[in-house]
Amino acid sequence: MTALERVERALERLGPDPWNAFLHVEAEGARTRARRAPEGPLHGVVVSVKDNLAVRGMPMTCASRHLQGYVAPYTATVVERLEAAGAIVLGKTNLDEFACGSSGESSAFGPTLNPRDPSRVAGGSSSGAGASVAAGVVDLAVGSDTGGSVRAPGSFCGVAALKPSPGLVSRYGLSDLAMSLEAPAPMARTVGGLTRLMQVMAGPDPRDSLTAAASPFVPHQGELSLQGLRIGVPEAFFEGVEEATARPVRAALARLEAKGATLVGVELPSLRFALSAYYLLNYAEFASAMQRFDGTRYGYRGEGKGLEEAQAESRAVFGPEVKRRILLGTYVTSRDRREAWYGKALAAKQAVASDFQRVFEQVDVLAGPTMPFRAFRLGERVADPLAMYASDVLTVSANLAGVPAGTVPLRVEGLPVGFQVMGPRGSDARLLALMGHVEALSGVAP
Amino acid sequence: MTVRIGLEIHVYLKTHSKLFCACSARFLEAPAPNTQVCALCTGQPGAKPMGVNAEALRLGLQVAQALGCTLMPGVRFQRKHYFYPDSPANYQRTATPHGTNGSLEGVRIRELHWEEDPGAYDLREGTVDYNRAGAPLLEIVTEPDLRDPAHARAFLAELRFLLDHLDANYEAAGLKADVNVSVPGGERVEVKNVNGLRNVETAIDHEVARQTEAISRGEPVGRETRHFDEVRGVTTRLRTKEEEADYRYMEDPDLPWLPLPPALLSETLLPEAPLARRTRFETAFGLARAEATTLLRERSLADAFEALASTLPPAAVAEFLQRDLRGELHARGLTFTASGISVAELTALLSGLGARSITPQVATRLLRERLDFGRSLVEGVRAEAAEKGTAEQAVGEAVVAALAENPKAVEDYRAGKATALNFLVGAVMKRLKGRAAPDVVRAAVEAGLGNLR
């Protein structure tokens, strides 16, 4: 198939986008690019890009009314690399507003519907990225992961996803949620697709100083031996997890054991405060990052007498979850409270990182379910922020600890279930190799 | 209790690009507003800082060394949050100190650190120019050790000398300072954003007088921040302590801890701290403080001086460099480095002067030809000396011939007839067709007559 034929097929499968997966479709632009897509490892491959990543000349809304009409004046490093490798960007995908959410429902432009069951959420915040792959529109998608933002939609939509090690993938061009925890992250129909994306996306970038020490991503050579592989299984990973999720995950673990892996029970005591620490850091960093959206340079400019009033009006269009996080983040970093809140959260992050470091001396990887439950119904949790936050309980620890984590869809009846693995920092290639085994043994046969 | 004055001085570091991006830092040379900007320095969503500018690091470390500071093992960049249109992201990146506990001119230096400059907001027009946003600043914070405006002037002059020596300051951009003044019986008052050395002195003068007067009238002087009105030379109240904003300082998650390891320091710091070097110039070469200061103001000139003074008399070298050479350079708006004059050239010129093979007038002419037409000094000195040699030889030959041709005049001279000497000089001049100085010829004739004896 030629690049142009692939674009046409993707557009045909997308149709009128019944899932609200895309906020912007670049149909003509994609056709034009397909005609002159450069040769490369991703030549002619159609990809979707989450709408919190900058692509020069395309709208970038971050699913917020504030940025409606904003066109990015530059291109994110990861997108630049994808295009240089021959990939064609079909459009920008839906997300929770400024990536603040776990279900995709906080988008100012309406929730993304789960292609497996349109009455249910797609998971967030990379909701459109997950749906664009699950619906078969594209094979590869770029999302971002701050506390599980590609793994949640991966798990809910039945798509593979990887949250890479910090410093491996450039964040240049990724609008901030919590800078210290996040990175652009690949989503794909298969684990092989994740590897292809990582080969193009990863590597040092002078425009993101945190990637200075990164080495290029090299896929695991040969087959990863399961013989003697030590898989840590913290019981805490199964606490409060619904049976329909726990059962297939345990079955997948048993299949790995049957192939020679050793299952090891491990303790991660810091897990019980990981979720609270994660959200405090998220608020604090997010409030800082959101300072720039004041309507002065770009974005919605509010009416008002004087500068302060106009800036306040410009910010009044943020949705409730965004406002909640800005307020809480400002509170926990204010002069008199920062030690009690932000300071403690930083210490907790350190404790989680130490816990993981210790446990990775005992085992090679950690495994368990990605989400505590399968995709829930639209509207089921929106009224209760704490219930929404609770869905991230199994994913946030990897971001706090600064380790890679991936999800593989399991072969199940009904709604998809994700199998999550985490490895030591920098073990991304090995982790993908292991995910390949899970896919082969227990996955949705590609 | 006495008057206590402290300064927070912001120096624009002389780098090519901004602190965290590749945009030009020479904002005064920008062709138009907002032409030297990128996604980062206009605060676009998703833009990230690049690593810290290496030139800014080098200059900042050298200034810390020059001020005798203790160097820190590394720094963290923090975000200082405030809403103002000149700030592209509504927070400013400012580093933790990289040097502490220094001193200069009897003033303790508390610390110095790097930070980025905001843009330029035109309140009346309601426009912002971000060409300046992200330009690298060095903030130098003193303890309140300055006694009075004269002390401040001396301190700032000395600081200026150090910055010149290190070529650290983007001079055209000026220098900004926050001035803290407290008088007995009052609290600390901060005057923000005073531009230029002269205004710093004016602001200090004004504040000392204003606060002293207030106290004498029995009015309290509370902690507050004031604005300096350049036109009227007075300060006005901006806000009291209670109105101070909470900047919510927070480590910038986009920038990693920046280590300043010994290996980096050893390749960055100067082999000798500037003030120590000046003292050595005074003692080793017998220079006066002012002379040493002038020579050291441009580091390459000081280096040239040292190279020359190792083989030539230091006093003569110093005099030539700071009077003749700097005079000619100054007249052309050139620095020594920009002139491209080498130590070898200066060696030739000064050796020629020393050996009297060229005159001071000729030396000046050669220097000008070098600066205006690029004629090498080595070649110029050689040609001048050769010409002088040829001329001397011609005179000598003419004298020998004239004496041989006029034995009568020689006899008369020996008999004590003074007019005979004039005749012989005239004969030589005639042979040389007048192309020689009469006194030179007279001396040569007298010498020739002496030799005949």
Domain-embedded: residue B403: yes
Considering the domain architecture, whether residues B253 and B291 belong to the same structural domain is answered as no
Report the residue from A171, A293, A294 with minimal CB separation from B48: A171
Residue B149 confidence (pLDDT): 86
Considering the domain architecture, whether residues B260 and B290 belong to the same structural domain is answered as no
Domain-embedded: residue B380: no
Worst-scoring range by mean pLDDT, A168-182, B98-112, B164-178, B235-249? B235-249
B125 vs A43, more confident: A43
Chain B residues with CB inside 8 Å of A179's CB? 253-254
- Each residue of B330-388: pLDDT tens digit? 999 999 999 999 999 999 999 999 888 888 888 999 999 999 999 999 998 998 888 87
Residue A446 confidence (pLDDT): 52
Give buried/exposed letters for B62-77 (b at 16+ CB in 10 A, else e): bbbbbbebebbeebeb
pTM of the model: 0.90
Considering the domain architecture, whether residues B252 and B330 belong to the same structural domain is answered as no
Distance in angstroms (rounded) separating the CA atoms of residues A87 and A48: 10
Q: Which of B208, B236, B264 is the last residue of a domain?
A: B264
Considering the domain architecture, whether residues B313 and B432 belong to the same structural domain is answered as no
Distance in angstroms (rounded) separating the CA atoms of residues A14 and A25: 10
CATH hierarchy code of domain A3-211: 3.90.1300.10
Q: Which of B254, B255, B257, B258 is most worth mutating to test chain A (most A CB atoms within 10 A of its CB)?
A: B254
Domain-embedded: residue B250: yes
Q: Across the interface, do A175 and B45 touch by the CB < 8 Å criterion?
A: yes
Closest CA to A154 of A379, A369, A321, A393: A369
Task: Name the β-bridge partners of A172.
Answer: none
| C-alpha gyration radius of chain A | 21
Residue B449 confidence (pLDDT): 83
Report the residue from B90, B250, B256 with minimal CB separation from A210: B256
Task: Tell me: ipTM over 0.85.
Answer: yes
Considering the domain architecture, whether residues B188 and B208 belong to the same structural domain is answered as yes
Any idea what the CATH number is for the domain that residue B441 is in?
1.10.10.410
Tell me which residue range forms the domain holding B432.
388-452
Considering the domain architecture, whether residues B291 and B413 belong to the same structural domain is answered as no
Considering the domain architecture, whether residues B146 and B248 belong to the same structural domain is answered as yes
Residue A50 is among the residues annotated as catalytic for this protein: yes
Distance in angstroms (rounded) separating the CA atoms of residues A244 and B289: 86
Q: Exposed, middle or buried by CB within 10 Å (0-12, 13-18, 19+), for A383?
A: exposed
Considering the domain architecture, whether residues B255 and B276 belong to the same structural domain is answered as no
- Each residue of B382-408: pLDDT tens digit? 988 888 777 778 888 888 888 888 888
CB under 8 A, 24+ apart: contacts of B420-424: B421/B445, B421/B446, B421/B449, B424/B449
Nearest chain B residue (CA) to A311: B83
Question: What residues contact residue A89 under an 8 Å CB cut-off, 6+ apart?
Answer: A26, A29, A30, A33, A47, A48, A49, A55, A58, A79, A82, A83
Nearest chain B residue (CA) to A306: B126
- Asked if B120 reaches chain A (Cβ–Cβ under 8 Å), the answer is no
Considering the domain architecture, whether residues B357 and B394 belong to the same structural domain is answered as no
Residue found under tokens 């029970």? A265
Residue B245 confidence (pLDDT): 83
Q: Does residue A53 sit in helix, strand or coil?
A: strand
- Angle at the Cα of B253 from the Cα atoms of B250 and B258, rounded to 5 degrees: 95
User: What is the interface size between A and B, counted as CB pairs within 8 Å?
Assistant: 102
Q: How far is A179 from chain B (nearest CA, A)?
A: 6
Residue A67 confidence (pLDDT): 98
The single residue of A64, A107, A125, A144 carrying the catalytic annotation is: A125
Q: Across the interface, do A296 and B254 touch by the CB < 8 Å criterion?
A: no
Distance in angstroms (rounded) separating the CA atoms of residues B300 and A240: 72
Nearest chain A residue (CA) to B123: A307
Report the residue from A171, A178, A334 with minimal CB separation from B248: A334
| DSSP letter (8 states) at residue A164 | P
Q: Which of B242, B264, B286 is the last residue of a domain?
A: B264
Q: How far lies B428's CA from each of A211, A224, B405, B420, B444, in Å? A: 85, 105, 11, 13, 10
Distance in angstroms (rounded) separating the CA atoms of residues B442 and B413: 13
Q: How far is A274 from chain B (nearest CA, A)?
A: 19
Chain A residues with CB inside 8 Å of B42's CB? 297
The single residue of A102, A103, A106, A149 carrying the catalytic annotation is: A149
Chain B residues with CB inside 8 Å of A176's CB? 45-46
Chain B residues with CB inside 8 Å of A74's CB? 38-39, 44, 47
Number of domains composing chain B: 3
Residue A149 is among the residues annotated as catalytic for this protein: yes
Q: Across the interface, do B51 and A206 touch by the CB < 8 Å criterion?
A: yes
Closest CA to B250 of A288, A76, A417: A288
Domain-embedded: residue B162: yes
Domain-embedded: residue B151: yes
Amino acid identity, residue B418? A
Q: Across the interface, do B89 and A173 touch by the CB < 8 Å criterion?
A: no
Considering the domain architecture, whether residues B359 and B249 belong to the same structural domain is answered as no
Distance in angstroms (rounded) separating the CA atoms of residues A145 and B251: 21
Q: Which of B209, B240, B264 is the last residue of a domain?
A: B264
Q: Across the interface, do B46 and A207 touch by the CB < 8 Å criterion?
A: no
- Asked if B33 reaches chain A (Cβ–Cβ under 8 Å), the answer is no
Q: Mean pLDDT throughout B421-436?
A: 84
Domain-embedded: residue B297: yes
Provide the mean pLDDT of chain B: 92
DSSP B307-321: HHHTTS-HHHHHHII
Chain B residues with CB inside 8 Å of A296's CB? 85, 128
pLDDT tens for chain A, 446 residues long, are: 899 999 999 999 999 999 999 999 999 999 999 999 999 999 999 999 999 999 999 999 999 999 999 999 999 999 999 999 999 999 999 999 999 999 999 999 999 999 999 999 999 999 999 999 999 999 999 999 999 999 999 999 999 999 999 999 999 999 999 999 999 999 999 999 999 999 999 999 999 999 987 777 999 998 899 999 999 999 999 999 999 999 999 999 999 999 999 999 999 999 999 999 999 999 999 999 999 999 999 999 998 888 889 999 999 999 999 999 999 999 999 999 999 999 999 999 999 999 999 999 999 999 999 999 999 999 999 999 998 999 999 999 999 999 999 999 999 999 999 999 999 999 999 999 999 999 999 998 65
Domain-embedded: residue B382: no
Q: What count of other Cβ atoms lies within 10 Å of the Cβ of residue A440?
A: 14
Chain B residues with CB inside 8 Å of A210's CB? 254-256
Question: How confident is residue B1, by pLDDT bands cut at 50, 70 and 90?
Answer: low
Residue B109 confidence (pLDDT): 98
Chain B residues with CB inside 8 Å of A343's CB? none
Domain coordinates in residue numbering, chain A: 3-211
Distance in angstroms (rounded) separating the CA atoms of residues B329 and A241: 80
Considering the domain architecture, whether residues B155 and B20 belong to the same structural domain is answered as yes
B149 vs B133, more confident: B133
Report the side by side order of strands in the sheet with A365-369: A22-25, A88-93, A46-50, A140-145, A183-188, A160-163, A405-409, A418-422, A365-369, A230-232, A262-264
Question: Does the pLDDT of residue B243 top 80, yes or no?
Answer: no
Considering the domain architecture, whether residues B21 and B95 belong to the same structural domain is answered as yes
> In this structure, is the dihedral angle defined by the CA atoms of residues A56, A1, A93 and A170, taken in order, positive or negative?
negative
Question: How confident is residue B452, by pLDDT bands cut at 50, 70 and 90?
Answer: low
Q: How far is A175 from chain B (nearest CA, A)?
A: 4
- Asked if B90 reaches chain A (Cβ–Cβ under 8 Å), the answer is yes
Residue B305 confidence (pLDDT): 97
